Structure 1
Amino acid sequence: MNHVECEWRINNGGRGLYELTQKLQNWLREVGAWEGWANLFVPHTSASLLVQENADPDVREDILDYFARLVVDGDPRFRHANEGPDDMAAHLRSVLTQNSLVIPVRAGRPALGVWQGVFLFEHRVRPRDRQVLVSFQGVVKEE
């Protein structure tokens, strides 16, 4: 059993879904991952990770619109607003999603469904520099 890990820095343009699928596929290829598990973790309280449809961009827009209605920036009921009106809303959006993913790796590729992609979900309005900790545990392909 092998274990490989790295840290990605993701500079994003603010609130939105940023696809990481190709980045994950490329990294798995680079490290020779063959069969096992890829683990992704975002060590932030105002960003999260999703597995979601990656074929139709309307899905991403609908997700953003839904969260905008569900958790409103600047809601007067929020006590925490240290970093602006999107502060507490970003924390709640993170609570409603997830900060880690475990994805099976089969034959050197993430075992995602046909329409699935891996996304960083940025909940803050302004652009951010985020970390994603990535690891692979399993069998590395022998050359």
Structure 2
Amino acid sequence: MDSETRRFRTGDRDVVLDITRECAEFAASRGDGLLHVFVPHATAGLAILETGSGSDDDLIAALGDLLPADDRWRHRHGTPGHGRSHVMPALVPPYATVPVLGGRLALGTWQSICLVDLNVDNHDREVRLSFLTSA
């Protein structure tokens, strides 16, 4: 298994960050297999969705409706609503696996791999990219 960690800056607001290009670069010379993407953070997740047409904003809005940034959360350190960031990975998991064929991500026409981060207290994220091939 080939594996490496990439760093991303998500900033100080809720974000859906498209990381497809970096994932494609990692998989480009590796032939056929599976790209496994993992976020080793308790407050971030990965989603495969269409970006740029409003779906990314819709995801942020839906998560805001489901997980409001208020004082209802028992996990209370950090900014108000920080506890919601610890619940989010149950809805947007911290991993995704994508087939790779001939060194190209086998995503659908409108699909992108996105880092989802509601934690405004942590601006820097690591994403582990691992390439698995069959023996």
Normalised by the length of structure 2, the TM-score is: 0.91
What's 1:74 paired with?
A: 70
3-state SS of paired residue (1:34) = coil
Q: Which has the larger radius of gyration?
A: 1
The alignment's C-alpha RMSD in Å is: 1.5
Native 8 Å contact 1:86 1:125 kept in 2: no
The answer to which of 41-50 and 78-87 deviates more is: 78-87
3-state SS of paired residue (2:32) = strand
Q: Following TM superposition, by how much is the alpha carbon of 1:28 offset from its aligned partner in structure 2, in angstroms? A: 1.5
Q: Which contiguous aligned blocks of 4+ residues in structure 1 show a shift greater than 3 angstroms?
A: none
In structure 1, runs of 5+ residues without a counterpart are: none
For these two proteins, the number of residue pairs brought into alignment is 133
Q: Is residue 131 of structure 1 aligned with residue 130 of structure 2?
A: no
Query: CA distance change for structure 1 residues 55 and 106 in 2, over 3 Å: closer, same or farther?
Result: farther
Q: Percent identity?
A: 26
What's 1:10 paired with?
A: 8
Partner of residue 57 from structure 2, selected from 57, 61, 69: 61
Native 8 Å contact 2:79 2:121 kept in 1: no
Q: After superposition, where does 1:1-143 map in structure 2 within 5 Å?
A: 3-14=1-12, 15-29=14-28, 32-56=29-53, 58-76=54-72, 78-126=73-121, 128-138=123-133
In structure 2, runs of 5+ residues without a counterpart are: none
User: 1 or 2, which has the higher strand percentage?
Assistant: 1
Normalised by the length of structure 1, the TM-score is: 0.86
